Amino acid sequence: MIELTYITGKVDLIGYIASLLVLLTFTMRSMIWLRLFGLASNIAFITYAILAELPPIFMLHVVLIAINAVRFAELRRDDASRRLAKD
């Protein structure tokens, strides 16, 4: 049987917030908002991983934050190019 655990401190709270941010990314319809929530979840998970001393989680989210940042920059650049072409 799975035991339900309670939030035992600030570190766990950060982990739950990070998880909630990941869940919210799945509700986004806009790629820009998806990337922004992805970046926020990466920051939260990196913080959580440092405080909880979880190297695999830290390494994963360091890679993911780089991917999300690059993709977000591409979206912004493409959006700016479309606006210039429109004018």
What are the domain boundaries of the chain? 10-86
Confidence (pLDDT) at 79: 79
User: Which three-class secondary structure state does DSSP give residue 29?
Assistant: coil
pTM (two decimals): 0.82
Q: Check residue 13 and report its DSSP letter.
A: H
**pLDDT tens-digit profile, the chain (87 residues):** 455 556 578 899 999 999 999 999 999 999 999 999 999 999 999 999 999 999 999 999 999 999 999 999 999 988 777 776 766
Nearest of 66, 77, 72 to residue 34 by alpha carbon: 72
